[in-house]
Amino acid sequence: MLRGIHVPLVTPFDASGEVAVDAIEKLAHQVLDQGAKGLVALGTTGEVATLDPGERARVIEVCARVCAERQALLTVGVTGNDTRSTARALRELPPGVGAALVIVPYFLRPGERGVVAHFEALAEETPVPLVIYHIPYRTGQPVSAATLRRLGEHPRIAGVKYAAGGIDQDAVSLLGDLPDGFEVLGGDDAFISPLLALGAAGGILASAHLETRSFADLVDAWHEGDAVRARRLGHRLARISAALFAEPNPTVIKGVLHAQGLIPTPDVRLPLVPAGAESVSQARLVAVHPGE
């Protein structure tokens, strides 16, 4: 279910500041045409914290429609740092959602015992499989390989988006001994190639708005054991990812997508501000000439 590249879609805005639903649909079809196995709606890349409930519902609706047409997996980000409200949000997910990406509780720092209790409680109530979002540099809560392995043994917990800021010992340990039916998806774009080399199933990658086919080919190359091709692709894509993350995500990505005519504006909502012209130009240059 989780293998391959899943693109966490940006939320485009039109000139009046409203959600550009037509542009979301266009982007969704494009990345699926180019080899993505699924979409992620309402992730950090989609600026979920700035969307009101009606806007969130419209984003899910269009993504669910596209995924149903294309027989692709739709994963929806479910935010919250307390168990009760997160469980309620899971129960309220509409039809068409195939999985939920749920972040490790942020700011509260409940400890690993609290993390286990949180996800085990959610797993008993969720209507769809859960993907743990492990990103300790945002949440302030580290989670060890042993804890992730324990959670991965629950039949309703399907995987983890692993974004620890690099390849650490826990990543090596986890991938060396995964529970049956539990997959690791890379979440740090620049490190996706080495994580795939260690056995990751795929990735949830904002950079894959661009060069989607190349990211899909990278997954295939590692899974097929073609290390020479995979290393070449991985180095090229890491340079592109670095350029796209030169400013806070998704500002540069939106700037590039707008320059390509794929979204109506490069706008983001405060507290984000649009990427500078130099960052956008550099990212476009690296995407065209990644070796330079």
pLDDT tens, 53-96?
A: 999 999 999 999 999 999 999 999 998 899 999 999 999 999 99
pLDDT per residue as tens digits for the range 110-163 = 999 999 999 999 999 999 999 999 999 999 999 999 999 999 999 999 999 999
Cα–Cα dist 103/94, whole Å: 19
pLDDT band for position 177 (cuts 50, 70, 90): very high
Domain coordinates in residue numbering, the chain: 4-226
What are the catalytic residues? 133, 161
0.75 cut: is pTM over it? yes
Q: For the packed helices 227-244 and 277-288, what is the interaxial angle rounded to 10 degrees? A: 160
Q: Which two tokens stand for residue 85?
A: 């409200």
Q: What pLDDT is stored for residue 261 in this prediction?
A: 96
The mean per-residue pLDDT over the stretch 281-292 comes to: 78
The pLDDT of residue 80 is 87
Residue 217 — left, alpha, or beta (φ > 0 → left; ψ -120 to 50 → alpha)? alpha
If one counts every other C-beta atom within 10 angstroms of the C-beta of residue 73, the result is 20
How would residue 292 be classed by pLDDT, with cut points 50, 70 and 90? very low
Q: Tens digits of per-residue pLDDT, 220-240?
A: 999 999 999 999 999 999 999
Write down the pLDDT at residue 288: 74
Q: Any idea how long the chain is? A: 292
> How far apart are alpha carbons 270 and 275 in whole angstroms?
12
Strand-pair partners of 99:
75
Q: What mean pLDDT value characterizes the chain?
A: 96
- What is the rounded average pLDDT of the residues 192-216? 98
Residue 182 contacts residue 153 (beta carbons within 8 Å): yes
Distance CA 251, CA 109 (A): 28
Span 32-45, average pLDDT = 98
Q: What is residue 120's predicted lDDT score, i.e. its pLDDT?
A: 98
Given the candidates 1.20.59.20, 3.40.50.720, 3.10.50.40, 3.20.20.70, the CATH classification of the domain at 4-226 is 3.20.20.70
Question: Does 45 carry a binding-site annotation?
Answer: yes
* Burial of 69: CB neighbours in 10 Å, binned 0-12, 13-18, 19+: exposed
Q: What is the mean pLDDT of residues 232-261?
A: 98
pLDDT at 100 over 70: yes
d(CA 283, CA 230): 22
